[in-house]
Amino acid sequence: MRKIFLTLLLAALPLLASADEGMWLVNMIEGKLHRQMADAGLRLDAKTIYDEDRASLSDAVVALAFSCTGSMISNDGLMITNHHCAYEDVHKLSTPEHNYLEDGFWALSRDKELPVHSEGIYFLKKVLDVTEEVQHLKDSTHAEGKVFGMRKVYAMIEERYAKMFEGQGEVICSSFWGGQKYMVAHYQVYKDVRLVAAPPVCIASYGAEVDNWEWPQHKGDFAIYRIYTAPDGSPAEYSPDNVPLHPKKTLRIATGGVRTGDYTMVIGYPGRVNRYSSSFAVKQAAEISCPIQAYYQKKQMEILDRWMNSDPEIRLKYADRYFSLSNVQEIREGEAYTYTRFRIPEVKAETQDRPLQEWIDADPARKAEYGDLVERLGSKYEAVADMERQLNYYRETYVRTFRLNRMINIIIRYGKDRDKAGLPPAPVADSAKLVERVDQLYGELDLRVEKDIFKYALGEFYRTVDRGFQGDFFRGVYDSFGGDVAAADSIWNNSVFSDMDRLHKAFSEPHPTEFYTSDPLYKYASSINIVPLNKKKAEIEGEESVAKLEAAYKKALYLMREDKGIAQYPDANSTMRVTYGTVGPISPADAVTVDDHTSTAGILEKYRPNEYIFSLKPGIKALYEAQDWGRWADGKTGKMYVNFLSDNDITGGNSGSPVLNAEGDLVGLAFDGNKEGLTSDMYYDPVMNKCISVDIRYVMWILDKYMGMGYLFDELTFVPDKPSLHKSGRRNADRKRVK
C-alpha cells in the first residue's frame, strides 16, 4: 500500500507542477515568468510591479526590520501590516490601566498617535548583481593565502557599496542558490514610527492558538502605523517636529474583494525556507527536531496558561512570550505531522535525491567532483542523529527556559569589570543605572511562574541529556537528590537571584564578586555548556560535515536544474519576493472540503463567553449581530467576509504582506498558513499549501464601525469592484485541487 501511495503521488506531480510554487525575486519578473503570471490573470506589465527608475508596486511594500512585511496606503505615511507583527509594540505600550492588547488602540487624531521603538522600516530602492565581485574577492583572498568566512566577504562588499550610497540608506549583501549568485540590496530606512490603530485581541486574534495554522479562521489581524520623517523628508529619529512621510508609491484599496478562481499576488519579505534540502534533512526534522521542540514548547505553554488564567496582571506580563511561543510550537507540531502524513522524505528521495545522483553519474566530470554524494549525505545524517537529538534536548530544556540568565550575567559582569579595574568590593546599589536595569528586567517576569518552568525544565534536562553533557555542579546536585525535583527547589530556594528582597539586600552590601559567582543559580547556569555537544558532533562528522555535504548537494541540484532548463527560484532569505496564485477552497482530508471565505457568521458560531480566546467585547458582538456592514459588504452575497484562502506561496516574514488583485489593488493582508501546508519550509505541496489572508473590507469595516476612524478614509484611495476582475485566468481552481 505504501509503495502504491507513493507511486500515485509521484504520478500526479507533472499535472500539479502548474501550481504557483515560487517565491520569485521581484527584480527578475520578466519573460516566461511574467507570461505565466499573465496567463493566470495578471493585468499589469512587469515594470508596474518593479522598476528602479519610476514608481512601481514594490515601492509601496516595506520590511519591518525583516521580521514582517507592511505596505503604504496613504500619501501621509500610513502603513498597514498584521496585528501579530505589531503585538510586541502594543504589549510594550500596555499597562494594567491602559491595556491596549485587550481594549485595542486607535488614535482619533494625529497628536494621539503613539511612538514605538522601531528597528527600521526598510524601503527597497535598488538591487545590484555583485556575483563577479564576490567571486573575485574570494579568489583573490584565497590566492593570497588568507582564510576567512563569507561573513567577512559580505562585510567587505557592504562596506564598498555603503560608501557608494553614503547618506542614501543602507545596503545588505545576500547569497542566492547556495552561493551561485550574490546581490546587494539598497534600502532607505525610517525609524520614527507611530502606532495609529490596533484592534483588541478578541478581533485581531480571535481563536488565538486554537485556530492558528487552521482553516477556517476568523481573525481581524491588522494594525496601522504612520511613518514620519524630518521636515525635509529625510529619515530621522523621533521628534515632535517630524512630518508624515510622503511615499513614492501607495496602494489603492479594492472594495470588491475576491472570489473563487480570482488571481492574487503577494509581494513581501519571506524569511527562510530550505526547499532545496535533501530528503535526509526533512527526515531529521520530522523525526527529531520538530517533535522535540513542539513537545517542550507545549509544556511551557501549559505552565504559562495556568498562571495567565489565574491573574490578569500575569496574563498581560506574559502575553507576548506566550504569543511567540505558541506560534512556533504550532509550526513545529504541524511540520512533524505533515512531513510524516504526506511522506515528504520519501517524495524528496524519489523526485530529487535519485534524479540528482543519476545526473551526477551520467557525466565523468560530475562524478569526479561529487561521487556518491547522496549516499554519503544519508550516512552522515544517520551518524549524527543521536547528537542532533541531544542538542535539541539541550536547547529546549535549558537555553529556552532559563530567563534569569540575562539578569544574572549583567550582575556578574559588573563585578568582574570592577575586579579587572582593581576596585575594591562595593554595594551594587551604588550603581543606580545597573539596579534600574536589573529591576526593569525582573519586572518583566513573575518569579513564581519562572520557578515552575525552571523546576519542570531541570527535571527534563536531567532525564534527557546525556550525563557527560550535564555539567559537574548540576549533575552533582541532582544525583544527591536521587534525580528528584527537590534538587531544583534546592537550587532555586538557596539563590539570591530568585527573590527580589534577598537580591536588594545583597545589593546594599559590599560583596565580592565571588559572592555572586558562588550562588547556586549562577553555578547551575555556568556549569552547563554547549561546546562539548558541538565538539562531539564535529568529532563524529569528521572532515565532511553535514553542513558541507548539504551545501554540495544544493549546488549540484542547482546545476542539474540549470542544465535541464528547469526554472528555479532561490530559497527565501528576507529579500523582496513576489508570488502569484488563485483564491480557492481546500480539501484537507478525505470527504472534507472547506470553502475559501469565512464571514462574521462564523465568529458568532464560535462565540464562547467563558472561554477567553472565543469571547467578545459586548460592543463588537452587538455590531456583528446588527449586521450593519455599510459599503463594506460583499456586493454579490451581502455578507461581511473576514478571511479568505489562496494558494500563494508564503512563509514567515510574509506576515502583513499585501495581497493584490489582477490590477495590483489591495484586497487583503497575508497572515497565516494552514496546518496541512506546513511542509512548505522544505517542500511545496501544490494541493495543500495555502495562504490565509484578512479581507481588506473587514479591516475597513472595523476602522469605520467599531473604531470610528472614518477620518482616515480621506487619506485612502478606494477602487470600485469590476466584474471582469472575477474571471479566472488559465486555470480552473476546482481542477487544481484534484490529486
**Per-residue pLDDT band at 151 (split at 50, 70, 90):** confident
Provide the pairing of β-strand 641-646 with 24-25.
unpaired
**Per-residue pLDDT band at 483 (split at 50, 70, 90):** confident
- Give the mean model confidence (pLDDT) for residues 80-103: 96
**Per-residue pLDDT band at 5 (split at 50, 70, 90):** very low
110-150 residue pLDDT tens: 999 999 999 999 999 999 999 999 998 888 877 676 666 78
With 90 as the cut, is the pLDDT of residue 4 above it?
no
* Lowest mean pLDDT, pick from 352-366, 522-536, 648-662: 522-536
Give the span between the Cα atoms of 161 and 172, in whole angstroms: 9
With 80 as the cut, is the pLDDT of residue 735 above it?
no
Q: Are 72 and 251 in contact (CB under 8 A)?
A: yes
Kindly give, in sequence order, each residue whose CB lies less than 8 Å from that of residue 166, ignoring residues fewer than 6 positions away: none
450-467 b/e (C-beta count within 10 Å ≥ 16 → b):
bbbbbbbbbbbbbebbee
Q: Are 632 and 686 in contact (CB under 8 A)?
A: no
With 90 as the cut, is the pLDDT of residue 93 above it?
yes
Higher pLDDT, 437 or 140: 437
Phi and psi dihedrals of 668, rounded to 5?
A: -175, 180
Phi and psi dihedrals of 188, rounded to 5?
A: -100, 135
Grouping H, G, I as helix, E, B as strand and the rest as coil, residue 536 is helix
Structural domains of the chain, with CATH: 2-120+192-273+575-737 (2.40.10.120), 122-190 (no CATH)
The enclosing H or E element of 670 equals strand 666-673
Three-class HEC string of 327-339:
HHHHHHHHHHHHH
- The stretches of 99-193 forming alpha helices (DSSP H) are 100-103, 131-143, 150-164
* Lowest mean pLDDT, pick from 140-144, 193-197, 306-310, 420-424: 140-144
699-726 residue pLDDT tens: 999 999 999 999 999 999 999 999 889 8
> For position 139, what pLDDT does the model report?
83
- Give the mean model confidence (pLDDT) for residues 461-487: 92
With 50 as the cut, is the pLDDT of residue 393 above it?
yes
With 90 as the cut, is the pLDDT of residue 266 above it?
yes
719, β-bridge pairs: 254
What number of CA atoms fall less than 13 Å from residue 223's CA on the CB side?
A: 31
Grouping H, G, I as helix, E, B as strand and the rest as coil, residue 658 is strand
> For position 2, what pLDDT does the model report?
38
With 80 as the cut, is the pLDDT of residue 545 above it?
yes
CA 131 to the chain's CA centroid:
28
Cα-based distances in Å from 569 to 232, 274, 522:
39, 12, 48
Percentage of residues in the chain having pLDDT higher than 70: 95
With 80 as the cut, is the pLDDT of residue 376 above it?
yes
Higher pLDDT, 573 or 167: 573
With 70 as the cut, is the pLDDT of residue 18 above it?
no
- Judged by phi (left if over 0) then psi (alpha if -120 to 50, else beta), residue 510 lies in beta
> For position 30, what pLDDT does the model report?
85
Cα-based distances in Å from 325 to 217, 317, 329, 400:
20, 14, 6, 10
165 burial (CB, 10 Å; 0-12 / 13-18 / 19+) is middle
State yes or no: cis peptide before 216, omega within 30 of 0.
Answer: yes
- Give the mean model confidence (pLDDT) for residues 553-565: 95
List the grid coordinates of 397. Answer: 530544556
DSSP string, 220-269: ---EEEEEEE-TTS---S--TT-EE---S----EESS---TT-EEEEEE-
With 50 as the cut, is the pLDDT of residue 3 above it?
no
> For position 14, what pLDDT does the model report?
33
DSSP label at 607?
-
> For position 296, what pLDDT does the model report?
97
In this structure, what is the dihedral angle of CA atoms 426, 428, 432, 437, given to the nearest 10 degrees?
150
129, β-bridge pairs: 183
Kindly give, in sequence order, each residue whose CB lies less than 8 Å from that of residue 539, ignoring residues fewer than 6 positions away: none
Reported for 105-109, long-range contacts at CB under 8 A and 24+ positions apart, including other chains, are: 105/195, 105/197, 105/198, 106/196, 106/197, 106/198, 106/703, 106/707, 106/708, 106/709, 107/195, 107/196, 107/197, 108/708, 108/709, 108/711
512-524 residue pLDDT tens: 999 999 999 999 9
* Lowest mean pLDDT, pick from 2-11, 84-93, 455-464, 578-587: 2-11
With 60 as the cut, is the pLDDT of residue 737 above it?
no
Q: Are 737 and 646 in contact (CB under 8 A)?
A: no
With 80 as the cut, is the pLDDT of residue 611 above it?
yes
DSSP label at 272?
B
- Give the mean model confidence (pLDDT) for residues 25-47: 93
Cα-based distances in Å from 338 to 329, 649, 685:
14, 16, 10
> For position 149, what pLDDT does the model report?
76
Identity of the amino acid at 596: D
Q: Are 712 and 660 in contact (CB under 8 A)?
A: no
The enclosing H or E element of 87 equals helix 83-93
> For position 532, what pLDDT does the model report?
94
With 80 as the cut, is the pLDDT of residue 464 above it?
yes
> For position 141, what pLDDT does the model report?
75
In this structure, what is the dihedral angle of CA atoms 524, 526, 532, 537, given to the nearest 10 degrees?
80
> For position 147, what pLDDT does the model report?
66
With 90 as the cut, is the pLDDT of residue 607 above it?
yes
DSSP string, 549-598: HHHHHHHHHHHHHHHHT---PPPPBSS-EEEEEEB--EEEETTEEE-SEE
Share the mean pLDDT of the chain.
92
